[in-house]
């Protein structure tokens, strides 16, 4: 799917109280205070914020509730939260804290009916299927869980199709191969998923320059782009991204 308006999303990976960033979802390095960064990205005009608890699945819990509560008081764009979400009750807690959507990876792979339970209870628009994929052969990608640590044996394209059939209203598609490399998004992966599902697809992992943003939307069909490294290290800003997107012919939200 490729909606007419492209969303620019700031991705914040969290470990404990810190904003962190890695390469291939590993080698996590502390960047700073997630609240300060979130507020800055909101003020720069981010269309949405995406919070991912990078170690929640490993320890079987989500620690983002307090961070989300704080963000919801200062940030007035949609908040998507993922990491360690294992039940409808976990989703309810995060929504009450101020999240608008939840992104679920590991627990959905382990128990696919959770996708349907969340969609039925809170609506498909709330249920984001988070898919972390690694290329395992030409034109084939496998789903990984536990923040990219564990193989699932699932074909990523087929899993996206199934997840949408179960009720997911959006796909957060992270390329483990490209994540943190600054080499560009996995356009082939994004295109394969967009050709398979009828819901919006967020491309994540690999932003290095504005040409990569234009490419994954134009050739990959992405509806939204999530950027972390480029923003955290101040290699670009959201106003610069917005201007480049508009110059490249993309329809992005006017700001301010």
In the set 13, 48, 90, 215, the catalytic residue is 13
CA atoms within 13 A on the CB side of 213: 28
In the set 132, 142, 170, 179, the catalytic residue is 132
Does residue 225 come out as left (phi exceeding 0), alpha (psi in the -120 to 50 range) or beta? beta
Sequence-separated (6 or more) residues with CB below 8 Å from residue 250: 6, 213, 214, 217
Q: What is the share, in percent, of the chain residues with pLDDT greater than 90?
A: 82
Comparing CA positions, the residue from 164, 16, 35, 153 lying closest to residue 84 is 16
The CATH-assigned architecture of domain 7-248 is Alpha-Beta Barrel (3.20)
Comparing CA positions, the residue from 218, 239, 238, 220 lying closest to residue 230 is 238
Task: In whole angstroms, give the CA distance from residue 81 to residue 68.
Answer: 8
Q: Where does the chain show beta strands of DSSP type E?
A: 5-15, 18-23, 26-32, 48-53, 79-82, 101-104, 127-137, 140-145, 150-155, 170-175, 201-204, 224-227, 251-252
Active site residue 53: no
Contact 51, 64 (CB under 8 A): yes
Residue 136 has a pLDDT of: 97
Is pLDDT above 90 for 76? yes
Q: Is the whole-model pTM more than 0.85?
A: yes
Residue 28 has a pLDDT of: 75
Active site residue 132: yes
Residue 21 has a pLDDT of: 86
Is pLDDT above 60 for 61? no
Task: In whole angstroms, give the CA distance from residue 133 to residue 95.
Answer: 27
pLDDT digits (tens, 9 = 90+) for 139-152: 999 999 987 889 99
pLDDT digits (tens, 9 = 90+) for 216-237: 999 999 999 999 999 999 999 9
Domain segments of the chain: what residues?
7-248
pLDDT digits (tens, 9 = 90+) for 11-50: 999 988 889 888 877 767 889 899 999 999 999 999 999 9
């Amino acid at each position: 799917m490729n909606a007419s308006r492209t969303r620019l999303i700031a991705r914040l990976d969290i470990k404990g109280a810190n904003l962190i960033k890695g390469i291939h979802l590993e080698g996590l390095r502390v960047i700073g205070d997630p609240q300060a960064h979130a507020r800055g990205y909101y003020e720069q005009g981010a269309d949405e914020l995406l919070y991912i608890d990078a170690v929640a699945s490993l320890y079987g819990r989500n620690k983002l509730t307090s961070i989300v509560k704080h963000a919801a008081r200062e940030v007035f764009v949609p908040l998507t939260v993922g990491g360690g979400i294992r039940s409808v009750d976990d989703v309810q807690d995060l929504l009450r804290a101020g999240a608008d959507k939840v992104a679920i990876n590991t627990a959905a792979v382990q128990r696919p009916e959770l996708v349907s339970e969340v969609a039925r209870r809170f609506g498909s628009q709330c249920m984001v299927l988070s898919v972390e994929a690694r290329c395992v052969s030409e034109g084939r990608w496998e789903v990984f869980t536990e923040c990219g640590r564990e193989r699932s044996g699932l074909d990523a394209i087929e899993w996206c199709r199934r997840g949408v059939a179960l009720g997911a209203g959006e796909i957060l598609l992270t390329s483990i191969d490209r994540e943190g490399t600054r080499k560009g998004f996995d356009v082939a992966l994004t295109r394969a998923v967009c050709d398979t599902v009828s819901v919006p697809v967020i491309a994540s992992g690999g932003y290095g320059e504005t040409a990569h943003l234009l490419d994954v939307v134009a050739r990959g069909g992405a509806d939204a782009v999530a950027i972390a490294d480029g923003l955290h290290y101040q290699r670009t800003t959201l106003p610069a991204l917005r201007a480049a997107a508009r110059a490249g012919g993309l329809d992005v939200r006017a700001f301010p």
